[in-house]
Structure 1
Amino acid sequence: MAPRVRPLLLLALWTLAAPARLGGGEAGDGGWQRRGPGTPTAAVAEERCTVERRADLTYAEFVQHYAFSRPVILQGLTDNSRFRTLCSRERLLASFGNSVVRLSTANTYSYQKVDLPFQDYVEQLLHPQDPTSLGNGAGSGVPFHWHGPGFSEVIYGRKRWFLYPPEETPEFHPNKTTLAWLRDTYPALALSERPLECTIQAGEVLYFPDRWWHATLNLDTSVFISTFLS
């Protein structure tokens, strides 16, 4: 029997986005509060996931059907209990509270960057985002861009993804937020023009192939690990 998919962590990057009032989240949420008052109403899960979910994928099947052709959501792939412990609010602040982090949109066409201590980021800047600002918290995310293939595993919260194949350049403004795109552009798209989309839950891993356009939207507290293969 072929082995189950076990991608090597060639490059791991953790990122989080969470609403205001972060002290004492719900049980099992690592101290991060899932949602807060003022969470944008537009930051909701899609009506129907159009990315296939697989819980029994072999390596041979992955290479044949997904690695070079289309995204897939992998379930039951790893035990992320270790990551959940390391990514709790208390542990992250204890380990990295004094470390300087750089905030940016991670967008090829946007270059605004802010450097500050991680503790200040968590305690002062995490709040729900409105569609017109590049803020932090629920409603934040990364506008459309592309790069090499990768995996993204959600540790806490939910993360909504929008994906287009390389030959279909999405309609978007590089300096506007994903939330603004979802509010202003998405509703006018014909069904044939809409992206593949799905909300990734804690414990799930999304794989996307090389050069696929993708944008993300954090629906509430979102701690995730991204692994880029090239």
Structure 2
Amino acid sequence: MQTTPFLASPFTFLFLLLMLAHCASQNEWYIDQLAEQGPCNIEVRDSASLSQREFIDVYAYTKPVIISYNDDWNKVFQSECSKENMLKKYGEKIIRLSSANTHSYRKRDVTLQYYVEELLKPQDLDTLGNETFYWFGDNNHTEWKELFDLYKKPHLSLPGKEGMYSFGMAGAGTGVPFHWHGPGFGEVVYGRKRWFLFPPDKMPYFNPDRTTLYWLINDYQEIHPAELPLECTLKPGQVIYFPNRWWHATLNLDTSIFISTFLG
């Protein structure tokens, strides 16, 4: 049976925008869901039971896995990433935004405060991915060292690979359409992020300049049940591992803060 994605009605969408305006004056990030979290067909493992040896033997080179940590996982880092603290300590920092399309070739530099107050909005369905800018990566690691030093990286690793952090935040309904690169881990600090993955030999059908939200509403429901992607929605305290060259797309269900560790 095919799954039909949820899209907010015009009335609900207006209500969410009003809530967004109200929440902008609060200390925490906005809750402004535009899509549902969907199923989870990726194996979820408790961090305490997944050893480095089993990770290498079972997942590292063959399939994604989600690792669940305890409730205190990265609480210090999460606290540092609160809206109030981010604006107070880092509001004047220049961040580099990227277009939310497959190739992310367009860039824009703004202050963090300007981004949060003016651009951190829910995704407009009619806006193309290459016209949507949000913050993911392109971090100056020297400038952000104080923040990154508080992050506890996953306890797993790949032999001979070093990790490089990619940090960002984005509004509900934003995300990056399908693309691939080397292996890595992804984690949300605030909000929720829905992941869709296909193996390297199974290129998905998508428009690289359309948003993931557009793909979910217009293309996802046309996929034959036997051809549906691996998918799951990450919440704080969970980390996803994706192997080398796996196709993946992301969709931020709420305003989200996230960090990835790319292994290279």
The TM-score with structure 1 as length reference comes to 0.82
1:24 to 14, 23, 26: 26
Q: CA deviation at 1:92?
A: 1.0
- State how far apart, in whole Å, the 2-side matches of 1:147 and 1:101 are: 23
Query: After alignment, is 169-178 or 73-82 more displaced?
Result: 73-82
Counterpart of 1:68 in structure 2 is: 61
1:183 to 217, 230, 236: 217
Query: After alignment, is 77-86 or 170-179 more displaced?
Result: 77-86
2:31 to 28, 31, 34: 34
Within the alignment, does 1:51 sit opposite 2:33 as a pair?
Answer: no
Q: Deviations over 1:65-103 (max 9, x none)?
A: 100000000011772011111111111112221111121
1:156 to 177, 182, 190: 190
2:253 to 190, 201, 219: 219
CA contact (8 A) 2:97 2:109 kept: yes
CA contact (8 A) 1:143 1:178 kept: yes
Counterpart of 1:208 in structure 2 is: 242
- State how far apart, in whole Å, the 2-side matches of 1:139 and 1:33 are: 12
> Partner amino acid for 1:207?
Y
SS in 2 for 1:151: strand
Q: Deviations over 1:127-152 (max 9, x none)?
A: 11122224451000011111110001
CA contact (8 A) 2:101 2:210 kept: no
Q: Spell out structure 1 runs of 4+ moving beyond 6 A.
A: none
Q: Deviations over 1:48-67 (max 9, x none)?
A: 20111000211111111100
Q: CA deviation at 1:154?
A: 1.3
Counterpart of 1:111 in structure 2 is: 105
Q: Deviations over 1:160-201 (max 9, x none)?
A: 000011011110111000000001110100012211000001
Q: CA deviation at 1:107?
A: 4.1
- State how far apart, in whole Å, the 1-side matches of 2:215 and 2:244 are: 23
- State how far apart, in whole Å, the 2-side matches of 1:124 and 1:207 are: 33
Counterpart of 1:15 in structure 2 is: none
Map residues 117-156 of structure 1 onto 2, 5 A cutoff.
117-133=111-127, 134=129, 135=132, 137-156=171-190
Counterpart of 1:170 in structure 2 is: 204
Query: Number of aligned pairs?
Result: 201
- State how far apart, in whole Å, the 2-side matches of 1:106 and 1:123 are: 19
RMSD: 1.7
**Structure 2 unpaired stretches of 5+:** 1-19, 133-169
Counterpart of 1:102 in structure 2 is: 96
Query: After alignment, is 165-174 or 133-142 more displaced?
Result: 133-142
Q: CA deviation at 1:106?
A: 5.4
More helix by share: 2
**Structure 1 unpaired stretches of 5+:** 1-18, 26-30
> Partner amino acid for 1:60?
R
CA contact (8 A) 1:132 1:177 kept: no
- State how far apart, in whole Å, the 2-side matches of 1:225 and 1:200 are: 12
